[in-house]
Amino acid sequence: MKRALISDIHSNLEGLEAALEDIRSQDISEIYCLGDIIGYGPNPRECIDLVMECDICILGNHDLGALFDPEGFNKGAEQAIFWTREQLESSRGDPQKNAARWDFLGELPRNRREDGLLFVHGSARNPINEYVFPEDVYNQRKMESIFALIEKYCFQGHTHVPGVFTEQMSFFSPEDINYRYSLTNEKIMVNVGSVGQPRDGDWRSCYVILHDDSLEFRRLEYSVEETVEKIYGIPELDNFLADRLREGR
């Protein structure tokens, strides 16, 4: 079985459409979304509608922020969430579709476990909000605490920085492993990267294909300038949210 693992779409319709087009060409059995469908970007309604067709979806912190009040967000992220909420409540939209989108977000689980695999947005220790960055391999106490909660493999997003963390306190970027990693008995954490707002210096959309005995990182070009111009055209969205897309930061 081949599963596609996407995350951190952040209302970037062009990035999501590029990922889904690639997924359709890869003989994928199921699509899992690891959260943050919305926030930052210009197309929250359209992205939710597409993700509603995924087999599994996990709650992200920006999804939660739209449902309730955003906590710990910077000014630009908070402003984007309030604008996103307005789009999802807009009287210009179809009331039934609006309600269906809110119901979908409100019913998203915080994690999913199956056959030794754990799927979260943040981390095994804090599924919604904890970041696990590459440099955390030097924080032995933190990493040991998280790995103790993982039975076999954990898949996550949130940092927008793709790569593989091993229990031996190593981190491998997709480039380090030629975009493929063989699965063994060793526990690992895998950040699947971001479909809509990469932050590893590579502007291309990123997602993971999970095979039975390996995983593969996919990087895809998309119409980034189209997304950029949409953000520029929305006064409530900070221009920085557009500029960062070009640079993958």
- The domain in which residue 111 lies consists of 3-247
Q: How far apart are CA 85 and CA 96, in angstroms?
A: 16
Q: How far apart are CA 204 and CA 153, in angstroms?
A: 25
pTM assigned to the model: 0.96
Is residue 211 exposed (0-12), middle (13-18) or buried (19+ Cβ within 10 Å)?
middle
Q: How far apart are CA 179 and CA 38, in angstroms?
A: 27
Per-residue pLDDT of the chain (249 residues; tens, 9 = 90+): 899 999 999 999 999 999 999 999 999 999 999 999 999 999 999 999 999 999 999 999 999 999 998 878 999 999 999 999 999 987 676 888 999 999 999 999 999 999 999 999 999 999 999 999 999 999 999 999 999 999 999 999 999 999 999 999 999 999 999 999 999 999 999 999 999 999 999 999 999 999 999 999 999 999 999 999 999 999 999 999 999 999 999
CATH of the domain at 168: 3.60.21.10
Angle at 156 between CA 216 and CA 104, to 5 degrees: 110
Q: How far apart are CA 75 and CA 57, in angstroms?
A: 27
What is the number of domains present in the chain?
1
Residue 156, helix vs strand vs coil: strand
